[in-house]
Amino acid sequence: MLLEMQRIFYEDLRMEETKEQVSNETWEDEEDEYLARAVYKHMNLNEKAGKEVWCPICKQGELKEDCHHIYCSPCGLRLNRDDEVNLEVLRNRLDEAHSDHLDQGCRLKSKFCVETRFDLAALYITCQGCNMFELVM
């Protein structure tokens, strides 16, 4: 009788372990699925975030474009654009200007300004530390 009770006890114990394993596997599968969805959603958000170009003057507004201008509503920045010039070109030029400044070895924060010469508004990058004054667009 004692042996029979021991056998039943161990069978119950094995059944409980099996149920726990199934429960853990189900929970892990659900967690994996949740994480996969979260990563996918984050990647989609990053794709959208990567397309934005923030205003280099006020650093608060997102630059927009129409058929004639690239502009920032909060600070009033307005640059004329040609057929070849768009936000993507401006983003690349801003990246190049920052890289050029850092490549010179200067670690001070550069600034951007708009100057109008000969009735043309142009965006420049400046730095007082290294005397940089370069046309961006």
Which residue is it, tokens 């990567």?
50
Tens digits of pLDDT across the chain (137 residues): 677 777 787 787 777 776 666 565 566 777 777 777 777 676 666 555 567 888 889 888 899 999 889 998 999 888 888 778 888 888 889 889 888 888 888 888 889 999 988 888 889 999 898 999 999 88
What does pTM read for this prediction? 0.61
User: Do the bridges between strand 64-65 and strand 69-71 make them parallel or antiparallel, or are there none, so unpaired?
Assistant: antiparallel
Domain containing 4: what range? Answer: 1-50
- Residue 113 within a domain: yes
Do 39 and 77 belong to one domain?
A: no
Do 41 and 81 belong to one domain?
A: no
- Residue 12 within a domain: yes
Do 41 and 1 belong to one domain?
A: yes
Do 86 and 129 belong to one domain?
A: yes
Number of H helices, E strands in the chain: 2, 6
Report which of 66, 64, 69, 67 is spatially closest to residue 53, judged by C-alpha positions. 64
Contact 35, 43 (CB under 8 A): no
